[in-house]
Amino acid sequence: MNGPARHVSARRLFLAGAIGLALWLGVTFLWHVTYRQGLSLPVILLLDQDFPALSGSVLLLALAAPWAEGKGFALPAPTARIVVPLILLLGMVAWAGHYALFQDYSISRDEEVARFAAAYMREGLFARPIPIEWEPYRRAIMPEFFSPFGAADYWTAAYLPVNSAIQAIFWQLGDPNLAGPVLLMGGLFALWRVALHLMPDRPDAVWVTILLGFSSSQLWVTAMTPYAMTGHFALNMIWLALVLRGGALGHLAAGVVALIAAGLHQWHFPPIFIAPFILWMLLARRWTVAAFHALTLVAIVIVWAKLWPGFLLHALGAPTDVRPSAGVADKVGSLFERLGDRWQPLVNLSRYFAWNNILMVPLAALGMAAMRWRRVISGQEIALPLTLGCLAGCVLALAQGYGWGFRYAHGFIGPFCLLAGLGWARCRPEGAMRPVLIGVMITALSSAFLVWRTHEFVAPYAASHKLIESSQADVVLVDPRGGLYVTDLVRGRNGVPGKPMVMNLGMLTLDQVDALCASYVVELFDRAEFRPLGVPLARWNLGRMDALRAHMKEAGCDRPVQPPLPETFEDALNAADNAM
């Protein structure tokens, strides 16, 4: 690697980053809050988590600017003896965090569907047969994100199977919640190897790269969940490490990794990451390698957009209930449709900036600006595909619903960190690590705040789920009116529907409610139960569900969910907080 193109002082870096992020945050607040476009979930999370975290980080960055220059603590060479134990430690933190932070609960429907599929895969099934007695209520039990193939007889996740299959493997080994932490460790290891390959003569730049990765709240908090995005981060980095390794074996292995990554949950994510590298290969006149990876993209479409739906059609039956949506035309059409009505770059990227190291974006901007354009044209500048990928991940800023950070750009955290390392190597003196250490400390404070707010946000839903699970009834009907995203509480136990069978009351007819009340022990879970647990208030239109509830009350079928009675006197005292 050549010497730095020009020196950028840490003071200017801090001030430029603080000003740029403050302006972004100000415009976001004006657009979504002051002149708000509707109080959506992203805006709720912005106000509760991202705005205070990013505002505090920006303020500290500006205040630290006068003292940013300097060497700081000397770091040893980033060898395996030091880096690998740190990666293992972070993986252990992510595994423990699923239980401590998320209370062994997956809040979103996306996560629940992934775990649902893992449960039936663990049993050697491609779908879960719907018991005959529950077929009339199948949509109330599985309200969304189900595959249309054979949907009259089977419950099948709408997502592609690889993420769930990985969880099923770890489930067989003891704990499906190990899948995310292990993938996180694999991705961080590959990130370290890529940084060593790209910057072999700048150990400080390698440290910058991996410290940005280690300090990313988005990386290690998302690894606590069943989201597929941890797999995208890991496999993207492994793919890049294999491509840079080179040789027939490296590229063949990279092709296999790309094919696996495309099957994690939606097949279009890896092509967005890989396509800029194919351009980079073409500029370098590496025709054979570029053609191989282009054929890999074709194979991705054939396998996951054609053969997999065809297999489901053959194995499960024709689509019912909803139209199929796994085809290429459907995917492209859905993308453009969502870009038209769900494109929210301000609020989503604010979340991305808040959940990653405060210096990630400023340093990555240095890496982009330091590109040598003659080397770009000749295909010798790897910053080009990294930049194009990062820009694509940020431009496609579609509304994501839940997510810790902006998960649709999760697979590009590695490229952002690598660009930051390249920017550091080209624009900063070797060994002057004080600004990065300051950035890590600021980010640690921000991360502590985000972890606290995440726990507070998840806790009411986890408590609600445990209350529903404790019911001794045959059926629990969830009336979601009055609560934010209460419909996501309609789920089974550990991904398996069973007793109590939980249903969305709003998806049942009057006759179905009568049939349930006549044949089963039925309990209701509504705002009388979930509001005291802290679930945020939401306004709902009443209408038809008022009539349902009035009918159930008249029929004496509106008993609320109650926790089981204490088995011992000591348990009773504990339940009453020793009030006696």
The C-alpha angle 117, 119, 122, rounded to 5 degrees, equals 110
Q: With 60 as the cut, is the pLDDT of residue 491 above it?
A: yes
Task: For residue 314, count CB atoms less than 10 angstroms from its CB and return exposed for 0-12, middle for 13-18, buried for 19 or more.
Answer: exposed
Pairwise CA distance, residues 58 & 17, whole Å: 8
DSSP state of 75: P
pLDDT of residue 576: 52
Pairwise CA distance, residues 163 & 180, whole Å: 10
Q: With 80 as the cut, is the pLDDT of residue 284 above it?
A: yes
Tell me the mean pLDDT in the region 87-114.
95
* Helix ranges restricted to H, 125-268: 138-141, 162-173, 179-198, 203-214, 217-222, 229-245, 247-262
Q: Which residues pair with 477 in a beta bridge?
A: 503, 524
Buried b or exposed e, range 422-436, using 16+ CB within 10 angstroms: bbbbbbbeeebbbbb
Instruction: Say if CB 50 and CB 21 are below 8 A apart.
Output: no
Q: Which residue has the higher pLDDT, 344 or 463?
A: 463
pLDDT of residue 4: 44
What does the mean pLDDT of the chain come to?
A: 90
**pLDDT class of 32 with cuts at 50, 70, 90:** confident
Looking at 234-357, which runs of residues are DSSP E strands? none
**pLDDT class of 578 with cuts at 50, 70, 90:** very low
3-state secondary structure of 486: helix
Per-residue pLDDT tens digits for 199-223? 999 999 999 999 999 999 999 999 9
Give the full edge-to-edge strand order of the sheet including 522-525.
501-504, 475-478, 522-525
What are 526's two structure tokens?
């509504």
- Segment (H or E) for 478: strand 475-478
Backbone angles phi, psi at 384, to 5 degrees: -65, -60
Q: Which residues pair with 96 in a beta bridge?
A: none
Q: With 90 as the cut, is the pLDDT of residue 540 above it?
A: no
Pairwise CA distance, residues 276 & 359, whole Å: 24
Instruction: Say if CB 407 and CB 222 are below 8 A apart.
Output: yes
Pairwise CA distance, residues 129 & 151, whole Å: 9
pLDDT of residue 574: 60
- Beta strands 128-129 and 154-155 are antiparallel
Exposure of 558 in the CB half-sphere (CA atoms within 13 A): 15
Pairwise CA distance, residues 202 & 348, whole Å: 33
Exposure of 316 in the CB half-sphere (CA atoms within 13 A): 26
What are 156's two structure tokens?
């099948």
Task: For residue 105, count CB atoms less than 10 angstroms from its CB and return exposed for 0-12, middle for 13-18, buried for 19 or more.
Answer: buried
Tell me the mean pLDDT in the region 11-18.
94
Instruction: Say if CB 557 and CB 522 are below 8 A apart.
Output: yes
- Segment (H or E) for 525: strand 522-525
Q: With 80 as the cut, is the pLDDT of residue 286 above it?
A: yes
Q: With 50 as the cut, is the pLDDT of residue 3 above it?
A: no
pLDDT of residue 400: 82
Pairwise CA distance, residues 168 & 161, whole Å: 10
Pairwise CA distance, residues 167 & 182, whole Å: 11
- Segment (H or E) for 154: strand 154-155
% of the chain exceeding 90 in pLDDT: 74
What are 435's two structure tokens?
């600004």
Q: With 50 as the cut, is the pLDDT of residue 175 above it?
A: yes
Per-residue pLDDT tens digits for 404-432? 999 999 999 999 999 999 999 999 988 88
Cis ω on the peptide bond leading into residue 500 (within 30° of 0)?
A: yes
Whose tokens are 């805006």? That residue is 43
**pLDDT class of 331 with cuts at 50, 70, 90:** low
Residues contacting 136, CB < 8 A, separation 6+: 512, 515
Least confident range from 49-58, 86-95, 306-315, 556-565: namely 556-565
% of the chain exceeding 70 in pLDDT: 91
Q: Which residue has the higher pLDDT, 499 or 233?
A: 233
Instruction: Say if CB 537 and CB 530 are below 8 A apart.
Output: no
Pairwise CA distance, residues 308 & 385, whole Å: 30
Distance of CA 77 to the CA centre of its chain: 32
Residues contacting 116, CB < 8 A, separation 6+: 128, 155, 157, 164, 491, 492, 495, 496
Pairwise CA distance, residues 111 & 494, whole Å: 12
Sign of the Cα torsion 348, 266, 283, 193 reads positive
Instruction: Say if CB 110 and CB 227 are below 8 A apart.
Output: yes
Residues contacting 258, CB < 8 A, separation 6+: 235, 239, 270, 274, 293, 296, 297, 300
Pairwise CA distance, residues 96 & 83, whole Å: 20
pLDDT of residue 322: 60
**pLDDT class of 35 with cuts at 50, 70, 90:** confident
Q: With 70 as the cut, is the pLDDT of residue 264 above it?
A: yes
Q: Count Cβ atoms below 10 Å from residue 310 Cβ, excluding itself.
A: 12
Tell me the mean pLDDT in the region 51-63.
96
Name residue 550's amino acid.
A
